[in-house]
Homo-oligomer: A and B are copies of this chain.
Amino acid sequence: MSIHGYSLLNGEPIESSGKAFAGLDPQTGASLQPCFHSASSEDVNRAVCLADEAFLSYGKLSGLEKGLFLRQIATEIELISGELVERARQETALPEKRLQGEVGRTAAQLRLFAQVVEEGSWVTARIDPAVPERTPLPRADLRSMLRPLGPIAIFGASNFPLAFSVAGGDTASALAAGNPVIVKAHPAHPGTSELVGQAISRGLHACGLPQGIFSLLFDAGTEVGVALVQHPKVKAVGFTGSLAAGKALMKLAAARPEPIPCFMEMSSSNPFFVLPEALRARGSQIGKGLFASFTLGTGQFCTKPGLIFLPSNEAGDTLVADLVAQVKQATPSTLLSQSICRNYSTGIQQRQAHSSVKLLAMASENEDPDNSLGVPALLQISGHDLLRDQELAKELFGPSAIIVRYESREEMIALAHALEGQLTATVQGTDSDLEAFADLISILERKAGRLIFNGYPTGVEVCHAMVHGGPYPSTSDSRSTSVGSQAIFRFARPVCYQDFPQTMLPAELKDGNPLGIWRLLDGEFTRAALGAPSS
């Protein structure tokens, strides 16, 4: 397999005179071969026009056909697993085992969406048959189902070079819904991106589908992303990244002559509450779990528990001492890129310099500073001070956490009220803790997309019930998830067909229910054909 260093359009690497850049080995800072070339604005336009043209046929593909395609991508990725993991390891410094797991997860996500579209009921088919005898006016025959939106712009994420990147969850769900996809590769892992892009292109070829369904664009800067979001034929955006970048793209999308929906997963500090009985009963065990969770993957998960709420009492002191001991003994590991390392170090320094924040512990940095090391750190602030400066509650990407010590139950509730939107919120407690703090749960339910009881927020299961979303600023649209099968709903809209002849209706809406899907027939869920007795 060779990496060419050019954007992929119509299944071919496209030579471009755009600004050149290289993937960097975060451990050494060395440039990796080959050189990559930024796409031009003409490339962006061509990719979107190809996607728009391909949409005419791709948007009408059956679930079985789309399923085959998604499964083929999964297979193509698995076939180059060794090469992929090796390149991703060089570009991200993530451990081999983690990257192997990510290959598996990426393939599993594609197969989950294949299963969803093959089964077919996701389209939410609804049929209200005609009532010609109704007075004063007859009722028309009305049938609705979800249809794809059109070309979707997807931004690869830095922290999941595979599972949230070129063929990650956003791409898989957009393709599953019937939309062509244009991916803007993350510049921190361009070689990995190109390898996956080639795999998708081979998948298209193997399935006899137009190459316009997928394009991959490289860019050293922000121009390609801006042009994509502003292109009139692009109909929605999927993004995982920083709050600053996400907000900038949201503004562009809202300012278009035709505003489009944006699904940005941006920023979450994942508040973690330890309730009194649990703290007394198993504080030490919770301390171990917490440390493992906020340092997992060098603290680069969007669900890292970065904000830990503990009472100012002896049991709280003991847990803090436990965490301090673990952090001091921790071994730093390499962050994804030098810019992430700079941001992390600056973030720790700024907090340390803040009069309300105390640095409780920091691991020792024994190695070459060129290594982009993320040095685990533990900070502390009083609940009172955090209430006065909510900026300190914001996410810091990397292996750190800030402990918030509160003086009373009232202060804890006030702190929960003051939280911004979050991907997750965790409560450690006994059953009687939970009952005693039902008001806390009610507040957290308004703040987060996922509530975790006696667990840790890292580790996002890819399944039907997962919600990886939450109120702003954790995402741009709390009514969506970017992980799990419900992610498909971001990229579809309902269309209603009134009095259409059977021959012109999509299979999902035909009387006989040839696909055997679940439909809402006159308000009742059934897989029965129209006219047959309901099951």
Contacts and interface: CB of A to CB of B under 8 A. Distances in A.
Nearest to A463: B128
A185 B154 CA distance: 41
Given A431-B501, A441-B504, A494-B486, A520 B455 contact: no
This chain's copy number in the assembly: 2
A: interface residue count bin: 35 or more
A161 interface: no
A60 B445 CA distance: 11
A494 B421 CA distance: 14
A422 B137 CA distance: 25
Interface stretch (A10-18, A24-32, A250-258, A367-375): A250-258
B455 A498 contact: yes
Contacts of A504: 434-435, 438, 441, 453
Contacts of A477: 261
Contacts of A486: 126, 144, 494
A169 to B, nearest CB: 15
A519 B480 CA distance: 19
Interface stretch (A37-45, A71-79, A465-473): A465-473
Nearest to A256: B472
Nearest to A149: B478
Contacts of A119: 523
Contacts of A499: 452-455
Contact of A250 (B254, B431, B469, B520): B254
Contacts of A421: 258
B523 A464 contact: yes
Contacts of A494: 449, 467, 469, 479, 481, 486
Contact of A466 (B142, B259, B453, B492): B142
B450 A503 contact: no
Nearest to A501: B431
A463 B144 CA distance: 11
Given A446-B150, A525-B525, A496 B466 contact: yes
Interface in A127-160: 127-128, 137, 139-140, 142-144, 147, 149-150
A42 to B, nearest CB: 22
A73 to B, nearest CB: 21
Contacts of A451: 495-498, 500
A517 to B, nearest CB: 10
B476 A259 contact: yes
Contact of A467 (B260, B459, B495): B495
Contacts of A459: 137
Given A431-B501, A463-B128, A258 B472 contact: yes
Contacts of A455: 140, 498-499
B522 A258 contact: no
Interface of A: 56, 60, 115, 119, 121, 126-128, 137, 139-140, 142-144, 147, 149-150, 250-251, 254, 258-261, 420-421, 431, 434-435, 438, 441-442, 445-446, 448-455, 459, 461, 463-467, 469, 471-473, 476-479, 481, 485-486, 489, 492-501, 503-504, 518, 520, 522-523, 525
18 contacts: A119-B523, A128-B464, A142-B463, A142-B466, A144-B467, A144-B486, A258-B472, A260-B472, A449-B493, A450-B495, A450-B497, A451-B496, A451-B497, A464-B522, A465-B496, A469-B493, A478-B493, A479-B489
